[in-house]
Chains A and B, each alone.
Chain A
Amino acid sequence: MAKNIDKIKQEVKSLVSDITEIPEADLAEDAKFTEDLGVDSMMALEIVASIEKKYKTPVPEEKIPNLQSLKDIYDLLEELL
């Protein structure tokens, strides 16, 4: 799918910012969700659920534990979309 990855990155970042209530400026691409940003398992699931809804693609459960930073989400989306 030839979707603009920069656009997706921006969309995902703003979605993560909405759910975690962390300003986009503070969301470094490689910051770890749990250790660095204080994201808990419920927020993580909310992020996954809203990504699934937005891009209409299921994220397999076994992939979720590997999503530890924005970069991991970008990589997964590049693979899935």
Chain B
Amino acid sequence: MESLWSVEKIRSILPHRYPFLFIDKVIKINTNERKVTCLKDVTANEYYFQGHFPGRPIMPGVIIVEALAQTSIILYAALKPDQAAKKPLYYLGKVEAKFKKAVLPGSQLFLQAEAEKLVATAGIIKAKAIVADEVVAEASISFGVKIEDDNSA
């Protein structure tokens, strides 16, 4: 599956890096529907499987939420490219999540984010994580965006 964005572009938007970058590819961007889909290939080698849990690897729910929050930043960047280019600080405000099914090694984790309300300074996002066409988690995510005063020019 091809990515619409290069790894460099993803890294230019998301400040996260290993071991906390959970987006491999950006698969779909629909600015009219205010929706994006990203992909994380969950391999058997993910570092968190060492401890969660020994002999019984399950992707931690908090990491699925983090992946959905990162997808929300990609959505913000798709809808507000000029603001995102200023490399603002993104901070998570509120999460309501439901987990429906365990995510196991070898899964293709599709991460969907849809803007319920999104402005330059904040967003409320409806997000879903999907494996093999089945919703494994859903979340409502609120985040704030702070563009630091640019005196650097």
CA of A77 to CA of B10, assembled, Å = 40
- Of the candidates B94, B116, B119, the one having the most CB atoms from chain A within 10 angstroms of its own CB is B119
Tell me whether chain A's interface is mostly helix, strand or loop, or mixed: helix
Q: Which of A3-11, A25-33, A36-44 contacts B (4 or more CB under 8 A)?
A: A36-44
State the Cβ distance, A3 to closest chain B Cβ, in Å: 23
CA separation between A64 and B116, bound complex, in Å?
16
Whether A45 pairs with B142 at a CB distance below 8 angstroms is yes
Interface of B is mostly: strand
Residues of B at under 8 Å CB distance from A? 93-94, 116-117, 119-124, 142-145
B117 contacts A42, C-beta separation under 8 Å = no
Minimum CB–CB distance from A52 to chain B (whole Å) comes to 7
Contact status B144-A40, CB under 8 Å: yes
Give the number of chain A interface residues (Cβ < 8 Å). Answer: 11
A-B pairs with beta carbons under 8 Å apart, 29 shown: A40-B144, A41-B121, A41-B122, A41-B144, A41-B145, A42-B93, A42-B94, A42-B122, A42-B124, A42-B142, A42-B143, A42-B144, A44-B122, A45-B117, A45-B119, A45-B121, A45-B122, A45-B123, A45-B124, A45-B142, A46-B124, A46-B142, A49-B116, A49-B117, A49-B124, A52-B117, A61-B119, A61-B120, A64-B119
Query: Scoring A residues 30 to 71 as 1 if CB is less than 8 Å from chain B, else 0, what string do you get?
Result: 000000000011101110110010000000010010000000
